[in-house]
Structure 1
Amino acid sequence: MEQYRKSRAHSPHGFFECEGRGLKWLREAYGHGGPRVVEVFGWGDDYLDIERVNSSSPTPKAAYDFGAALAHLHDFGADYFGEAPAGYSGTCYFGPLQDPVPMDTGNWTTAEEYFAQGRLLPMVELGIQRGSLNQSDMSMTQDIVSALPELLGPAASDSPARIHGDLWSGNVMWTADQGRSEAVLIDPAAHGGHREEDLAMLHLFGMSYLSNIIDGYQSVHQLAQGFADRYTLWQLYPIAGHCVFFGGGYVSEYRSMCRSLLRR
């Protein structure tokens, strides 16, 4: 099996260990119907060695199968919202290789507390520290937090899922290495979270055969009523992250998303 080395000099402490342990943690679900996840061979302070995957094009059948496998991964579960990958006790990270930011871990028991205290508010605060967001954005975000019971609706009762955590289309590779098209997960920010987070990320920047993925998912796990209406809510965290990383048009997008949620 060919290896690929992902590296970055002077990376934050624990960055590659967290990713490596996250991949291994996600791979635990593979024997229980979960998706294929790249194999990990080792890591160091500034590198991660994983298997090399040859890319190909997806098919509707592969997308459906991936959706079903993703549901099995989520159902494999976590003990808490905010749980770190097994065997890891350091800082977890979210964001691009060149500028990852800390991602809080913890033992939140409700989706509302986890999303507010562990994800959304810390990211907006970081945006304020970097100068891309301001106190008005924090005030609007706190209004979102106050409205979370209504915005989450039936999704608030979901138990913690084992999620990829950064599941945009670029982190789902399609390969035919084993003779048929299948999805392979890479580059996670793995943790115990809410299943709708991964689905919302798939929608954020576009994904091939997305309806097939959702159909496959629901063949295994029926999503809570109104799940598609909550995509914008779950997308607030990654878009706030993009305000931190890149600024620019993501700032106006974040504000527009908040206003649309608060009008509901």
Structure 2
Amino acid sequence: MDDFVKRSPNAPAGYAAAEAAGLRWLAEPRAVPVVEVLEEGRDELRLVRLESVEPTADAARELGRGLARLHDAGAPGFGWSPAEPAFFGPLEKPFPVSTRVEDDFPDFWAEGRLRPLADKVTRTLGADGHDTVDEAIDVIADGAYDGISGQGTEEPSRVHGDLWSGNVLWTAAGATLIDPAAHGGHRLEDLALLSLFGAPFLEEIFAGYTAEHPLPGDWEQDLPAHLFFALLAHVHLFGEAYVDQAIGTAEAIIARADALGF
């Protein structure tokens, strides 16, 4: 079987094991294609080699349906990880994230993920920027995004966790997930990340998703709250280039919460 070796001698201890565990956990429900792990080592993974093809609308709709089924497979709790330690970020410089399990989404997202990261980038954001970001985290902590469009609450979903468009490989067998930061999270995390830098046939992905798992009509307005961690991670990893986008996203989170009555 042809294979692909992913190697980083400088990766932190446990990084390869965390990615391998995440891929296997995402593959368990057989909801969506996930690259197969053949072997793992201290600083490398051997994966099945995938051959890419051009994306199509049909493949995008099926990806959306598959993601809905994957999320519906559930997770033991918010913040739960299939491996410990857990990481987020590129192979060259990933950073650790909490694996503390929370009963509800606001505690996990606001206190487990967003606030620790915002505190790391205080100087980069600037005083006014950090105040705006902190206010956005506060409204998330208050439960504005616990459900979707202010409706109900969400149970923990089985999420990829770093599903920007570069972590979807379009193959003849369908859109295949690679390079996860898998955990128990909110179903909108993956959809938000697909929207962050744009994915091929994004609206078809969303249409497939909502056909499989219906969502409130204005659900896309919630997405800024769920891509916020990834944007703050970009500020942390890459600096000032992402500051304006992060602050603008914080403002959108606050405005949406106001509209929902929080």
Aligned-residue sequence identity (percent) comes to: 37
Match of 2:111 among 114, 117, 134: 117
Could you say which residue in structure 2 is the equivalent of 1:245? Answer: 237
Any stretches of 5+ residues in structure 2 without a counterpart?
Answer: none
Mapped pair 1:152 → 2:145: yes
Conserved 8 A contact 1:76-1:161: yes
Deviations 1:207-259 (A, max 9, x none): 11111111111121112453200111111110100001111220121112212
Conserved 8 A contact 1:40-1:49: yes
1:221-236 equivalences in 2 (<5 Å):
221-236=213-228
What is the total number of aligned residue pairs between the two structures?
252
Match of 2:200 among 203, 208, 212: 208
> Which segment drifts farther, 213-222 or 196-205?
213-222
> Which segment drifts farther, 142-151 or 35-44?
142-151
- 1:26 & 1:153 partners in 2: Cα distance? 23
- 2:118 & 2:217 partners in 1: Cα distance? 28
Match of 1:39 among 12, 36, 41: 36
Q: Give 3-state SS (helix, strand or coil) of 1:189's partner.
A: coil
Match of 1:186 among 178, 184, 200: 178
Could you say which residue in structure 2 is the equivalent of 1:258? Answer: 250
**C-alpha RMSD over aligned residues:** 1.6
When residues 150 and 46 of structure 1 are mapped into structure 2, their CA distance, relative to the original with a 3 A threshold, is closer
Conserved 8 A contact 1:154-1:224: no
- 1:96 & 1:81 partners in 2: Cα distance? 23
Conserved 8 A contact 2:75-2:157: yes
Q: Report deviation, 1:150.
A: 6.0
Q: Report deviation, 1:127.
A: 2.0
Q: Give 3-state SS (helix, strand or coil) of 1:258's partner.
A: helix
1:40-79 equivalences in 2 (<5 Å):
40-79=37-76
Matched to 1:40, the amino acid is: V
Q: Report deviation, 1:29.
A: 1.2
- 2:109 & 2:130 partners in 1: Cα distance? 15
